[in-house]
Amino acid sequence: MSRNPDEHCKSTTVAADYDRNRFSSIPGQVFNFLDKRLVAKCFSQLPEGGTIADAPCGTGRLAEARLDAGYRVHGFDIFQAMRGVARQRLASHGGNFTCEVADSKERPPSGPVCDGAECARVLMHFPPEQQVQFLTGVAGLSRSVAAINQSLDSGYQRVRRRLKRWVGNQPSARFPITDENIKLRLKGAGLREVRRYRLLPVMSEAVYIVARKFDVPDRG
Ligand SMILES: C[S@@+](CC[C@H](N)C(=O)[O-])C[C@H]1O[C@@H](n2cnc3c(N)ncnc32)[C@H](O)[C@@H]1O
């Protein structure tokens, strides 16, 4: 049985050690580097100084890269502990980073509508209908693109996961999402895919999908 993120990320100890546990190994550092590079590509059409909603922002890992690139970021996370780490980490960015505690499966109560939105590494923790609710929440935060990061389920991915479990890693996807499923989830949330980037073809099934709302035209 995989761990439940709704319990796991509540703890301040888990939140404080979150990035070190995931991104300090060599593969973790490579993943982190590539991840940030792809997020930059996803938002390459957004002018510097624009606002990006980060849901969930977690410890502010991706927000930091967007802030460094000259954007303003508003983060949402369900857990105070994760948000606390993000605030501390991004304190030097002053008012360019703001955040609030929110369940992104519900419409955020006070979040601004931003120029773009990102949603990374979270959907697989929820059953299908809640994945759609989460994506609907994310779509509602952006007036143009949403960049969605998801590791897609495939035969290859299942073998990799089994191997990882075998060497003692904790399973990370409670509700794995196939390529077909993600298309359905996007559609359910009123989004259409306009571009896709693979993080590390062959090694990983992680993709970044750039999506737009059905009523927003693609301008390149
Ligand atoms: C794997 S972390 C990803 C964080 C960040 N996107 C990143 O890639 O570094 C998942 C995050 O989702 C948050 N989360 C879980 N359920 C949520 C919900 N319903 N609404 C908002 N955040 C949620 C957790 O607190 C945790 O910070």
pLDDT tens-digit profile, the chain (220 residues) = 445 656 678 888 889 999 999 999 999 999 999 999 999 999 999 999 999 999 999 999 999 999 999 999 999 999 999 999 999 999 999 999 999 999 999 875 566 789 999 999 999 999 999 999 999 999 999 999 999 999 998 887 778 778 877 877 766 678 999 999 999 999 999 999 999 999 988 788 899 999 998 876 665 5
**Ligand 1 neighbour 120 (Cβ under 6 A):** yes
What is the CA(11)–ligand 1 centre distance, in A? Answer: 13
**Which 8-state DSSP code applies to residue 96?**
G
Residue 72 resides in a domain: yes
Q: Given this model, what pLDDT does residue 1 score?
A: 42
122 CA: nearest ligand 1 atom = 10
pLDDT value at residue 166: 81
Query: Does residue 108 fall inside a structural domain?
Result: yes
How far is it between the farthest Cα atoms of the chain? Answer: 46
Tell me whether residue 56 is in a domain: yes
Is the residue at 20 inside a domain?
yes
Total of domains in the chain: 1
Ligand 1 atom with the shortest distance to the CA of 120:
6
Tell me how far apart the alpha carbons of residues 44 and 2 are, in angstroms, rounded to a whole number.
35
* 22, two tokens: 């995931």
CB-based contacts of 142, cutoff 8 Å, min separation 6: 53, 113, 114, 115, 116, 117, 213
Ligand 1: residue of 73, 77, 119 to mutate (most ligand atoms within 8 A of CB) is: 77
Distance 88 CA to ligand 1 centre (A): 17
Specify the CATH number for the domain of residue 157.
3.40.50.150
Residue 56: CB within 6 Å of ligand 1?
yes
State the pTM of this model.
0.91
Query: Residue 144 belongs to what domain range?
Result: 5-213
Cis? peptide before 112, omega within 30° of 0 = no
